[in-house]
Amino acid sequence: MDAESLLLSLELAAGSGQGLSPDRRAALLTSLLLVKRDYRYDRVLFWGRILGIVADYYIAQGLVEDQLAPRKTLYSLNCMEWSLLPPATEEMAAQVAVVKGRFMGDPSHEYEHTEFQKTTAEGEKTFEEDVVVHIKEETRLVSVIDQIDKAVAIIPRGALFKTPFGPVNVNRTFEGLPLSEARKLSSYFHFREPVGLKNKTLLEKADLDPSLDFLDSLEYDIPKGSWSIQMERGNSLVVLRSLLWPGLTFFHSPRTRNHGYIYVGTGEKNMDLPFML
Amino acid sequence: MEDSTSLGQETENQQLGEAARPGEEEAAAPPRDPGPQSSGPWEAERAPDAAEPRPGSSRTRSPGSRGRAAGHGAVSPPPPQPRKPLRALARQDLGAAQQPDGAVSGAPDAGTALPDPLGLSTDEKASASGSQSREDTSPPTQQYRSSSTHSQPKELRTGNAQGEDPEPGASETAPSTLEIAVQNAKGYLFQASSKTGLNLYDHLSNVLTKIFDERPENAVDIIENISQKVKMAHFSKKLDTLQNENEMLPTYEIAERQKALFLQGHLEGADQELEDEIDLFSQAENSLPNVMESAFYFEQAGLGLGTDETYRIFLALKQLTDTHPVQRCRFWGKILGLEMNYIVAEVEIREGEDEEEVEEEDVAEAEERYNGESEADKDEEDELPKSFYKPPQAIPKEESRTGANKYVYFVCNEPGRPWVKLPSVTPAQIVTARKIKKFFTGRLDAPIVSYPPFPGNESNYLRAQIARISAGTHVSPLGFYQFGEEEGEEEEDVESGRDSFEENPDFEGIQVIDLVESLSNWVHHVQHILPQGRCTWFNPIPKHEEEEEEDEEKEEEKGEEPDYVEQEVGPPLLTPISEDLEIQNIPAWTTRLSSSLIPQYATAVLRSNLWPGAYAFSTGKKFENFYVGWGCKYSVDNYTPPVPPPVYQEYSSGPEITEMDDPSVEEEQAFRAAQEATELASQDNEESGEDDDDDN
């Protein structure tokens, strides 16, 4: 959700019970402005909160002019002092995949993971060695945020448009989805570089508007039904909840520009989804 | 004189750059070949070389030069820099688009810019009378020109004087070539699209009007979108239809329902006497929870549903307490669903109400049981063996008001919709619910498709989850509740600890900081649910044997003692939560102070790690529990479906199964020999009758 309209967004996203206490809200309104100034971001998004056992991580993201450019992620424990996270890499994701369970809330906390590694010694014998791998929680945080962003960060269709020069900008003339479109998954896009778009057939591509339909649509998510879409407050608010990453709430009030997403959760993927549907 | 000025003008234009030329060409083109006039000036532009000499001819005629000046009114206003784009535009067949362009360039000074489109529009109406249009367009020409280039002023003035002087003459004479060109261009712009009925002229002026009305930043960057918007706005114009659009119907419907929530207070107040109202008020005060107060504290903790939704729920609870015989009511929480959510209210029904339903159910159950028994009787009479398998003893559900059925739960999908009472929970449902993990759909009658078949539909599953969550996460500060002393100790209490409690009148509160620092200051005040699915132990063995109708007396004596050992016991009531089981090195609870900045007024916040979404707060004296989430339990590992039940072993092949070989000849002969021997023996003993009897 945009840092500038944080209060309204929080009110709209409150249906899932995820909110911020008044002191956190006030702190965020102050500190995100400063973040925007100091890091020279074009936009600052309040991304959400990862619940740890000891403390919670508050996450913000800074966007530059091109909305699809890699985003900078910052975290804070007290909503005032923000620290920049390193960019996520594939290597990190592979490393972190072995860690399970909840976040601790201490960025310097180290998870220990024992791995069995087979080493062939001189005598052609294979030894099984226990190698203890230390993984910092900060690394895991980076990786999880990246995964969530790639999987479930979404925007309504038309909120961004691609300029002829390439960069993707916020569409000023976006006035919200019409009610009939707001219930369909196809009118929401993943907020990331498109992956599946190139795989589409020519026939499918023919109907697309190149300045608007340059992202992946939600309706092709796997598994089918990994989103819960609801109209709340008597059709004046669409709420999308991700079932794959429970805790991610997207809201959009049709016919207005208000939209955004927030993640409040444990930072764990719901691998049981097929059982639960 | 006129010639010279026109010449001067011409040279000046050339000096200024070729940008101006297209305009001229365009202006000059139509008179030479009147045939293609209707098709528009762009055709002439396609051959700029051919158009080159023409200005010479027009130069000689004074009206032509004048007309050109008027034409410049449209073309030349932009200062030198924008001429290039102008030219580009002109090259494309949109020579006439220069007019709007001139208006755009005029945008910076609002005073002159705004009237411009208006002038154009009047112009367009009066396009037949050339003089009128000339008067309209030429004055802005002066202004722009004087401001634009240094060498112009002189010519301008002369041109201007010229423009005013021969005006009457021009109106008398035939319309100038340039004028015709302009009109042609306009005519082209006015051509309506065969598909939509729009024309470009109106569209452009609408776009400009929109831009001037809205004044967006960097209008040039978003001109495409604005243009699109204008078109969309045209398309979405409401058509005359026989039926009204019903797109918004659900919105109005829920608004209508919620209106009832807000109105109900007034209606009652108006209807009833003051005293009644006070009675009602005091009663409502007892039964209705102060939702807003606890919502305030939960908001401090960073949790809650938003102010307006909370208030609607508050009103919905009031509606519930007014329409049902409710003794005590509590806002339990919200369970998220795929299509709709559930708002759950925990209710204690007043004594003596709601009993009939329960009895009916009991009767029905008893009948079933009776039928089952009678069938069993029949089975025994038959000769062929029937299935020996008996379903495991159905454990009866607990009475209402006790155990897991202590409270009644009402749910609704949205505040304002009717409350639905959930059925009471059976142990079998709880046991099965523990083995499955499902999302709620939001429809109470939805079937639950799961591997251990769930006995019931979604309402039963919801009720079971509510029971489990309540039992796990409803906590209170130590000392707030104490065991009731007045109530007689029942027999059950001896077994499973006392199951009733009451508020401690002498409770003095606990320091908030103590509540945060020590988990042992929080206690469960809802009974633990045993693995069996009940809060109190039910011994399934004796009942089982009763059904078989074997010596009842003996069983009653024997039954209790051996099974007493097997009895499942859980933590008793009011056990501190510090003794809760850990989830693989993760503590079951996280405590937090709601504000680190102002600790003296902060509240203690408790978050369950076992049931994500379950929270409790306490200010030391007050406390409340709340759940909002998907209704699923947390586990570090992924959900594993339960293993299939063991396969029943076949009969072990013993003497009952195996048979002997057929008797062989030797055996038969031996047998015959033996028989003969016995016959002989019996003949010997014929006298004695006793032996005969034995043989038979």
User: HEC string of B73-117?
Assistant: HHHCCCCCCCHHHHHHHHHCCCHHHHHHHHHHHCCCCHHHHCHHH
Rounded to whole angstroms, the Cα distance separating B597 from A7 reads 21
More confidently predicted of B246 and B641: B641
Across the strands, what pairs with B606?
A: B591, B616
Instruction: Collect all residues of chain B within an 8 Å Cβ-Cβ radius of residue A265.
Output: 612
pTM score over 0.80: no
Coil, strand or helix at B498: coil
Quickly state the pLDDT bin for B639 (edges 50, 70, 90): confident
Give yes or no for a contact between B299 and B308, defined as CB atoms under 8 angstroms apart.
Answer: no
- Per mean pLDDT, which of A65-79, A116-130, B114-128 is the most reliable? A65-79
Answer with the residue of higher pLDDT: A27 or B542: A27
pLDDT tens-digit map of B348-359: 887 765 554 544
Residue A266 with chain B: CB contacts under 8 Å: 612, 634
A169 forms beta bridges with: A161
* pLDDT top residue among B446 and B97: B446
| Confidence (pLDDT) at B342 | 92
| CA–CA gap between residue B290 and residue B318 (Å, rounded) | 10
Residues near A2 by Cβ (< 8 Å), separated by ≥ 6?
A: A9, A43, A44, A45, A46, A260
Look at B300 and A11 and tell me if their CB atoms are within 8 Å. Answer: no
Q: Which amino acid is at B562?
A: P
* CA closest to A9 among chain B residues: B306
Q: How far apart are CA B571 and CA B496, in angstroms?
A: 9
Q: Where are the domains of chain A?
A: 6-92+138-276
Window 242-271 of A, Cβ < 8 Å to B: 243, 246, 265-266, 271
Whether A172 sits inside 8 A of B216 (CB atoms) is yes
**Please, are residues B426 and B416 in contact by the beta-carbon 8 Å criterion?**
no
pLDDT band at B246 (very low <50, low <70, confident <90, very high): low
Assess whether pLDDT exceeds 70 at residue B40.
Answer: no
Share of chain B above pLDDT 70, in %: 57
Lowest mean pLDDT among A34-48, A213-227, B330-344, B435-449: A213-227
> Which of A15, A234, A272 is opposite residue B306, by nearest beta carbon?
A15
Apex CA A50: angle with CA A46 and CA A55, to 5°? 115
Residue B54's pLDDT is what? 45
Residues 109-128 (A) with a CB less than 8 A from some CB of B: none
Contact status, residue B25 vs residue B45, Cβ threshold 8 Å: yes
Pick the more confident residue, B41 or B595.
Answer: B595
Inter-chain Cβ pairs, chain A and chain B, closer than 8 A? 117
Please give the ipTM for the structure prediction. 0.88
- B495 CB contacts (<8 Å, ≥6 apart)? B536, B537, B567
CA distance B304 to B315: 16
Residue A58's pLDDT is: 92
Q: Among A263-272, B8-17, B379-388, where is mean pLDDT lowest?
A: B8-17
- The mean pLDDT value for B86-90 works out to 42
Sequence letter at residue A83: S
Give the position of tokens 């809760």. Answer: B580
Kindly give, in sequence order, each residue whose CB lies less than 8 Å from that of residue A217, ignoring residues fewer than 6 positions away.
A157, A185, A186, A188, A189, A190
The whole-number average pLDDT for the span B110-138 is 42
Is the pLDDT at B681 greater than 60? The verdict is yes
* Chain A stretch 142-201, residues whose beta carbon is closer than 8 A to a beta carbon of chain B: 161, 171-173, 179-180
Indicate whether B578 pLDDT > 60: yes
Cα A240 from Cα B336, distance rounded (Å): 12
Distance (Å, rounded) from C-alpha B189 to C-alpha B191? 5
Chain B residue with minimum CA distance to A265: B612
